[in-house]
Structure 1
Amino acid sequence: MSFDADPFSIAVATLTFLLAGFVKGVIGLGLPTVAMGLLSTVMAPAQAASLLIVPSFVTNVWQLAAGPRFGALARRLWPMMIGVVAGTLAGTGFMQGGRAEQAAIALGVALIAYAALGLSALRFSVPPRAEGWLGPVIGLVTGLVTAATGVFVIPAVPYLGALGLKKEELIQALGLSFTVSTVALAAALAGGGSFEAGVAGASAAALVPALIGMMFGGWVRGRVSEPVFRRCFFLGLLALGAHLASRALY
């Protein structure tokens, strides 16, 4: 698969990664969610996911490296990470070929679920004794959702948020989960022939607007109420998810 480098596609991708980077800069997550949601309205989900690889990997490694307790978190979360890799590789091909339309619909459903959780007052708690078996299950499901939609927030983000981590630990744990998911997704797409040299170059180019958006988002974060921004963000995802999921009615 190659990226169609016409002016319209380039403009859409540039604006999408600017916005996605901005969202991540403000609230610490959302780059793949926004990018996949917007790009999937104008291109196949597998191509959108391929463009996502380099910006997602670099920004998540940045987020992972900034935290204080990588070793402790890696020891605690490794069963979940193995589940993420296994689930993603097991779902290789979900976004490709004749499944592209179903993948876009699945992405819409995933965005709706994520937005609904974000807008709700629901807060979960996972007891330490349950982490041993629940972590791998959450990882496996997250991997399968990643393989089908290119979005790796469900159910990983609610689960990590329920572990009782401190703010800095949670940000680093999200960075770890997203980094592993990105690498696993890249391997799955490469195995299916979707992440080739031409697409890799376009994905690397998409890093520039993503980083610009992130820096601007970080600047805005200190000047805008985060709760208000998060609410607007999740409402926007809800609308976007409903639009993608409505393809099933056509």
Structure 2
Amino acid sequence: MLHEKQRILFFILKAIDSSQVPVGSGYLRNSLQRQGFDISEATVGRMLRQLDIKEYTEKIGFKGRILTPIGKIKLEELERENTINHYGKELLNVIRVTGKQELLDALIARKAIESQLAKLAAIYITDEEIHKMKQVIKRQQMHVNKGISIAEDDVEFHKIIAKAARNRILDAAMDLIRQHGQLSPMLEYIRKEVKSRVLLDHKNIYKAIASRKPELAEEAMVRHIEKLERDVKKYWEIVYEKDSSLDVVRELRM
């Protein structure tokens, strides 16, 4: 779950965003109390002034505050972070049930398909699609800097490449793999656990495609997927194989 300060910020921004009119510290204090936070109206007032400074909120005379566009972006970030953390335990169960080999099989299939998609994208991509990829990279960088989930960015990045390749058969094959809706969140969770990063891989893929260099794009995608394969294997060694070894030791001691 979000840390307490982040949770308070989330509920404040959510309450302001949900209101049809500007709201004041009294309204927000009551809203926070309903969420289990006993915070004085004066403290809420001080917090609101800090939100004004950060440009998350704007004071409308004596009426109260409204959410700014920057505040709406922050609220969306907190909502995504809350979602990925909320499903952390569920993801652990899904990863365990899915199994190491099934994840590796999915990645092997992705490597074969997406390496060709990247190669074709470098040939057929439009300037508009290059711009979209660049925007996704920028947003992903911002999310990494703020420590929030990039699972949605990851899916969007790979979808742009698939569409840019102009090959409906390969695109349909990727859609089939994507039907496992938890694949991207699972891989993100695994990367976090093994301290791995994906942004540099995406930047290298983007540079190769934007430069319209098919072979380099293919190689960059292969390296990216193979890194994910190593992350999965490392995660299993750290979490499950370690647990199995401990179980064996316990049995020997009994």
Pairwise same-fold verdict (TM > 0.5): no
Structure 2 length-normalised TM = 0.27
Bigger relative CO (Cα 8 Å, ≥ 6 apart)? 1
Structure 1 length-normalised TM = 0.28
Q: Which has the larger radius of gyration?
A: 2
